[in-house]
Amino acid sequence: MAETQLDVRALDKTDAYRALRVQFDALCEGVTDEIALMSTMACVLQLGFGHLWTGFYRRVGAAKLIVGPFQGTIGCLEIEFGKGVCGTAAAHKETLIVPDVNAFPGHIACDARSRSEIVVPVLDRGGELIAVLDIDSERLAAFDEVDRRELESWVRWFAKVT
């Protein structure tokens, strides 16, 4: 059984992602249920990094996102494609790193403490958008190219099972 909580605070960011990934892969080996995977991924990342909010918005219908498994404070329940950081990342199917959310036109402030954000599209094996992974931080410019590279790799899990 994998450890329930890894302390990665002493590691650099790449090593922290790698250590958490080993834990996630061990926990989820053989798991194909999308919700179980989203829940566990949100939990492992949130416990590891301690950000304000880590979770998924799932696509419903043609152009709407609805909140999925998450850890953190209460988030908004629905987001239309093209709205906010999540809706913009969903509409373009590309990762968005926002170093200062107050400088992002249309940012949806679910928690006033949020200062920066990364949103990564989650695609199925056919390249269709099934969700976005959203992580919000209380720190300005908390996310960089390491987060993009690692999180894009993490969400490729879903292309294997959907």
Binding residues (CB under 6 A) for ligand SME: these are 53, 75-76, 79, 84-86, 107-108, 110, 114, 117, 134, 136
Nearer to ligand SME, 14 or 73 (CB): 73
Residue 106 in tokens: 């249309």
Q: Which is nearer to ligand SME, 34 or 136 (CB)?
A: 136
Q: Cβ of residue 139: shortest distance to ligand SME, in angstroms? A: 15
How near is the Cβ of 44 to ligand SME at its closest, in Å? 18
CB 118 → ligand SME: shortest distance, Å? 11
CB-closest chain residue to ligand SME? 84
Shorter beta-carbon distance to ligand SME: residue 66 or 76? 76
Strands 64-72 and 116-123: unpaired
Q: Work out how close the CB of 108 gets to ligand SME at its nearest, in angstroms, rounded to a whole number.
A: 4
